[in-house]
Amino acid sequence: MANQQHLNLLIKGVDIWNQWRDQNPEIVPDLRKANLSQLNLRGANLDYANLEEAILANTNLSEGSLKKANLSYADLVGAICFKTTITEANLSHAILINSDLSKANLEQANLSQAYITDSYLVDTNLGGANLEECDFTRSYLTGANLTGTNLQGADLSETDLTGTIFYEHQSCALNHKQNEIFFEDQLFAQNYYLVIEDLVSGFLEETALSSSYEDHLPYLERIWERTKLESIYQTLS
């Protein structure tokens, strides 16, 4: 359960809370299972905070900081995280349905098995994040940065990927399994992996390498540096 003193300080307001954090940088806030729903926590310093199973439904966390915070199994339904820093945070199994993560920084965050359906991640930075088995159904990832992410088993059904950046190596693409990512259009999914297969084979032929992917993963990563998602769409159109 949450530390009652920590909870009382946060409820008093962001200014009082941030002042306390500045004066006590060595204290890790314990807000486990705390009910913080519908609070205005805009600009709050929640770095390293333990918010496991906390209720943050419809809470305003905009422009705040949750660096390396533990938000596993947290309820963030309808939460507003506009321009929030959530780098290296643990959001595994978190529920972010109908949330707004636009322009948030989730670099290196763990979002494995999180539910981020019907949400906005416009221009969101997810670089290097763990998105394994994350559900993005019907969400908007327009302009989002997904370079270096683990998308194995992620559900991207009905998502808007307009302008989404996939420049670097994606683990799901090199696995060459059509069920690693779920596309609304199954024919597109099949063609997508055929294109990737052709790119890999062509690159290996150009460099006179063997056909063993495992032996040449560093070279395969260069494919993603020169291949953009737009070019894949053009190939399939």
Considering the domain boundaries, does residue 176 fall inside one? Answer: no
Considering the domain boundaries, does residue 108 fall inside one? Answer: yes
- Give residue 163's pLDDT: 86
- Give residue 166's pLDDT: 79
Helices 186-206 and 229-236, packing angle to 10 deg = 110
pLDDT at residue 186 above 50?
Answer: no
Average pLDDT value over all residues in the chain: 81
Residues 114 and 58 occupy one common structural domain: yes
pLDDT at residue 11 above 60?
Answer: yes
Considering the domain boundaries, does residue 170 fall inside one? Answer: no
Could you tell me the pLDDT band of residue 62, with boundaries at 50, 70 and 90? very high
- Give residue 176's pLDDT: 29
3-state secondary structure of 182: strand
Residues 151 and 197 occupy one common structural domain: no
Q: Which of 112, 131, 165 is the last residue of a domain?
A: 165
Find the mean pLDDT for residues 78-98: 98
Residues 65 and 22 occupy one common structural domain: yes
Residues 48 and 156 occupy one common structural domain: yes
In whole angstroms, what separates CA 112 from the centre of its chain? 9
Q: Which of 59, 237, 43 is nearest to 51 (CA)?
A: 59
pLDDT at residue 209 above 80?
Answer: no
Q: What is the pLDDT of residues 44-54, one digit of tens each?
A: 999 999 999 99
- Give residue 95's pLDDT: 98
Considering the domain boundaries, does residue 207 fall inside one? Answer: yes
Residues 56 and 151 occupy one common structural domain: yes
Residues 161 and 190 occupy one common structural domain: no
**Within 10 A of 108 (CB to CB), how many other CB atoms are there?**
19
Widest Cα–Cα separation across the chain: 66
- How many structural domains are present in the chain? 2
Residues 193 and 117 occupy one common structural domain: no
Considering the domain boundaries, does residue 157 fall inside one? Answer: yes
Considering the domain boundaries, does residue 10 fall inside one? Answer: yes
pLDDT at residue 182 above 70?
Answer: no
**Cα R_g (the chain), whole angstroms:** 20
Contact in structure between 31 and 6 (CB atoms under 8 Å): yes
Bridge partners of residue 95, in order along the sequence: 75, 115
Range of weakest confidence among 46-50, 65-69, 122-126, 233-237: 233-237
Find the mean pLDDT for residues 52-78: 98
Q: What DSSP state is assigned to residue 11?
A: H
Range of weakest confidence among 41-45, 96-100, 206-210: 206-210
Residues 155 and 127 occupy one common structural domain: yes
Residues 12 and 101 occupy one common structural domain: yes
Considering the domain boundaries, does residue 7 fall inside one? Answer: yes
Residues 18 and 76 occupy one common structural domain: yes
Residues 26 and 119 occupy one common structural domain: yes
Find the mean pLDDT for residues 98-112: 98
Q: Domain with 25 in it: what CATH number? A: 2.160.20.80
Residue 226 domain boundaries: 185-237
Residues 37 and 151 occupy one common structural domain: yes
Predicted structure pTM score: 0.72
Range of weakest confidence among 8-22, 54-68, 138-152: 138-152
Q: Which of 165, 199, 217 is the last residue of a domain?
A: 165
The percent helix, strand, coil of the chain (3-state, each to 5) is: 25, 10, 60
Residue 147 makes CB contacts below 8 A (sequence gap 6+) with 127, 128, 165, 166, 167, 168
